[in-house]
C-alpha cells in the first residue's frame, strides 16, 4: 500500500512537471498575429547591417514590418515592429541601433538577443523571426 502511494506521488509530480514545462512554451508565444513572409536583404545596399549594433526597418514583412538587428558580423536578429502592448498596425516600434521604442505607448525594447522590454507598459518581447545567411552578401528573413 505504501509503495503504491509513493509511486502515485512520483507519477503525479512527473506529470505536473511535464505539463508545466510544456506550458512555458505557450507563454512565450507572441500575441502579435503571425503573417507568413520571406524576403532577402542585399547587404551591399543595406550596408548599415554590416556594422554590429545597427538595425534597419523593412516594411511589408510580418504584421507591422520587420526590424533586423546586427549583433555581430554573422549574427542577426529579426523582430516584428508591432508593439506587444499596442497590438495594431499603426503603433510601430521605431528602431535606433540597439533600442526600439513604440510610437504610441513609448515602451522600449532591447534588440539584442530577444527584444525584451526595457521600459514601459509592454511586458512581452517583440515577435521574433528567422534570419539566415544565403551568402556573404545576402540575408534571408522569414517565419
- The pLDDT of residue 10 is 44
The per-residue pLDDT for 1 is 53
The arithmetic mean of pLDDT across residues 58-74, rounded, is 94
**Type and span of the H or E element at 71:** strand 66-72
- Per-residue three-class SS string for the chain: CHHHHHHHHHHHHHHHHHHHHHHHHHHCCCCCCCCCCEEEEECCCCHHHHCCCCEEEECCCCCCCEEEEEEECCEEEEEECECCCCCCCCCEEEEECCEEEECCCCCEEECCCCCCEEECCCCCCCCEEEEEEEECCEEEEEC
pLDDT at residue 41 in the model: 98
Report yes or no on whether pTM surpasses 0.85.
no
- pLDDT tens, position by position, 53-64: 999 999 989 999
Per-residue pLDDT band for 45 (boundaries 50, 70, 90) equals very high
User: Which stretches within the chain are classed as H helix?
Assistant: 2-27
Distances (CA, A) of 24 to 28, 101, 113: 7, 27, 19
Average pLDDT over residues 70-93: 93
Amino acid at each position: 500500500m505504501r509503495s503504491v502511494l509513493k509511486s502515485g506521488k512520483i507519477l503525479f509530480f512527473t506529470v505536473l512537471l511535464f505539463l508545466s514545462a510544456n506550458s512555458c512554451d505557450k507563454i512565450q508565444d507572441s500575441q502579435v498575429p503571425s503573417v507568413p513572409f520571406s524576403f532577402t536583404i542585399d547587404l551591399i545596399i543595406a550596408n548599415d547591417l554590416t556594422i554590429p549594433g545597427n538595425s534597419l526597418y523593412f516594411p511589408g514583412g510580418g504584421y507591422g514590418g520587420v526590424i533586423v538587428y546586427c549583433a555581430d558580423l554573422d549574427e542577426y536578429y529579426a523582430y516584428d515592429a508591432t508593439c506587444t502592448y499596442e497590438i495594431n498596425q499603426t503603433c510601430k516600434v521605431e528602431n535606433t541601433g540597439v533600442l526600439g521604442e513604440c510610437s504610441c505607448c513609448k515602451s522600449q525594447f532591447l534588440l539584442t538577443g530577444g527584444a525584451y522590454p526595457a521600459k514601459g507598459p509592454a511586458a512581452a518581447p517583440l515577435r521574433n523571426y528567422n534570419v539566415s545567411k544565403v551568402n556573404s552578401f545576402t540575408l534571408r528573413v522569414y517565419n
